[in-house]
Structure 1
């Protein structure tokens, strides 16, 4: 392998799937040293969505510190993983996944009034965790007391903090400008799409608590690069939905709108930020929502549909509904749910992909270690060590 150009080896390896890259570590010392470097791992992740389309569904077992990985190519195989250094009586919720990294939150320590988001800033090659909390009036004004109960009062303000994995530190940013009213954010974990995090928000009209339905929904976005909040435009037909859920399909923002007549429409924003680019990909049918359940928040969960991912061929959509995940055919004009099919899962489901990214790479940066690729030639006659600077590797990533 000594006669094989190092630059060519790097370009070939960075375009392979993760499983293939791990197998090729045993080809030579040269390739093993190259693959194990932080610079190569960062180069590989820049192409991983294209080179490794295999997706894994991860979900949390109820009342345990065990998470399970489900290979969507082989749905009958489960790969359980125990969360290290975690007491048995502690449970965790999945806050998000990005480039193979999964963010978890301890349920016992999580404040219910806090929303989170986990994503990647490509301009700084940094992973960021957003934490935003709302605070309430301690005492309502007299003119507002006839409209609101104390525990349902309007949010006074939001305080947001962001964590940088690169610097291993928290810092405060400007708060959320959305007046979320009585409901606040529907989702605790933000949806990552287009280098931004997204949540569904609710707005209630100033009516008595018993008459606070209907509500007005909108999508709040947070740009991970500019670190600013903004509103994502939605269609008017979303306002009549009984419930809404969000997802990221092939990197695009997606919404599943469920209506009381049983219809579930899945929409994808093909051009981010453009209202007219919302495109309906599929309509599905489930049972109608009984009138006595329309205003029940607990029963509403039974009728929520969560789109997860497209199949490798792009002709099917993976859906999570009532504790099961199954495929829906996108070619059919109107799909129906079959509760007898699907794979049984516990809790919320997150989609991730295999990756070479390691937290150790960022810990070494925090410790101030210089980052270089050091590869050793396995030729017994010439045990030469060659180095490639970090700037050169980053330049290759930008050119790609």
Structure 2
């Protein structure tokens, strides 16, 4: 190891998965400081995002499951901080390896599945506006603010109005840096679909909206900028027809628009290749019923293969297929242990911390310090320190291309 310079070590380590990095923290104090440092955490995350490595599918049903994206072979149940056999868990958003989880009982947690760290969020009350006594629905969105280098969870509440064409709203933003909620200006649009969290792309959250619930129901897309905390309209392709069912998804960091023609079972998927540029909308996929051999309600894009020639599609939240962009053919994906119905989300491994501000880690761990220590030992001390260097070399040889890239 003495032959490796201090400049080379970060270049090698950034290519590894989080599991190996947590082990290598024990090599030495300098390595521990390096891996825990904010600069390396950003370096590792940036490399994973740019090279599409260390990704997994997270499937939500009554429980949460994880599937390695590179293999797509088997689903593994996740033991998350809000796990309760009597309560279903919802995913409110994902960003840079973090998940926002909700258990339906006012408990919200941010969780990093790779490091197994979690943080409970403080409860914030709903501030009902005058004459609006009932909340119609609540939507969330999780993202990163590049200006303050902070992670934010946005909560939007829409209230029933005095009549069918009126509504009001309340918007609050949780800051991981301050571990607190604050209210911002109301959302002036009507969110079209319930139980849909904000789609994250280009450091902004996106929703399909209309101006009014009844009198003006034309759909369009509005973004909430996580840095400026301003709302803006996103221009859409001119060729979209009126009355389509419009949906949004993020794929590879780019905003995707899905136009669904239910009557003829046709779905077109557009991708905004240059964010904010209307002319950059490109039709990526057009799927017909005959291609899938059976009826479907909706299709969502999840990821592009590493060589860029296939798109992984979620069909009706109950099956996956690869769509070949060249041949236009569809191939079914069979994953062992996948539940019959699910919601799917792509997640990247990361070292993004949650407890740097000293806030409480998962409150259900109170009184379980022994179990916590055993868990940490299983993460950080799976090998004797005397064998860690040998393990490092073994990992390097299993990733032999690392040396070629340096």
**CA deviation vs aligned residue, 1:130-183 (integer Å, no higher than 9, x gap):** 00111222x44xxxxxxxxxxxx23432211100001101111111122x2xx6
SS at 2:218 equivalent: strand
Note the C-alpha offset of 1:283. Answer: 1.1
Query: In the alignment, which of 347, 358, 379 is matched to residue 363 of structure 1?
Result: 358
* 8 Å CA contact 1:241, 1:258 repeated in 2: no
RMSD (Å), alpha carbons: 3.1
> Which of the two has higher C-alpha Rg?
1
* 8 Å CA contact 1:115, 1:185 repeated in 2: no
Residue 81 of structure 2 is aligned to residue 79 of structure 1: no
Q: Distance in 2 between matches of 1:241 and 1:281?
A: 21
2:400 matched residue in structure 1: none
Query: In the alignment, which of 118, 122, 132 is matched to residue 142 of structure 2?
Result: 118
SS at 1:245 equivalent: strand
Question: Number of paired residues?
Answer: 326
Q: Distance in 2 between matches of 1:52 and 1:26?
A: 27
Write out aligned runs for 1:1-400 (5 A). 1=1, 4-18=4-18, 21-22=21-22, 24-25=24-25, 28-51=28-51, 53-62=53-62, 66-109=63-106, 113-137=137-161, 139-140=162-163, 153-178=164-189, 180=190, 184-185=192-193, 188-202=196-210, 206=214, 215-240=217-242, 242-259=244-261, 260-286=263-289, 302-322=296-316, 323-332=318-327, 334-335=328-329, 342-343=334-335, 344-345=338-339, 346-363=341-358
Q: Distance in 2 between matches of 1:8 and 1:306?
A: 40
Note the C-alpha offset of 1:204. Answer: 6.4
SS at 2:219 equivalent: strand
Q: Distance in 1 between matches of 2:329 and 2:242?
A: 21
* 8 Å CA contact 2:139, 2:194 repeated in 1: no
2:121 matched residue in structure 1: none
* 8 Å CA contact 1:243, 1:304 repeated in 2: no
Note the C-alpha offset of 1:22. Answer: 4.5
Note the C-alpha offset of 1:10. Answer: 3.1
Structure 1 residue ranges, 4+ long, deviating more than 6 angstroms after superposition: none
**CA deviation vs aligned residue, 1:337-387 (integer Å, no higher than 9, x gap):** x7x754444321111111111212343799xxxxxxxxxxxxxxxxxxxxx
Note the C-alpha offset of 1:121. Answer: 1.1
Structure 2 alignment gaps of length 5 or more: 108-134, 362-406
Report the CA distance shift for 1:282/1:86 in structure 2 as closer, same or farther (over 3 A): closer
SS at 2:10 equivalent: helix
TM normalised by structure 1 equals 0.72
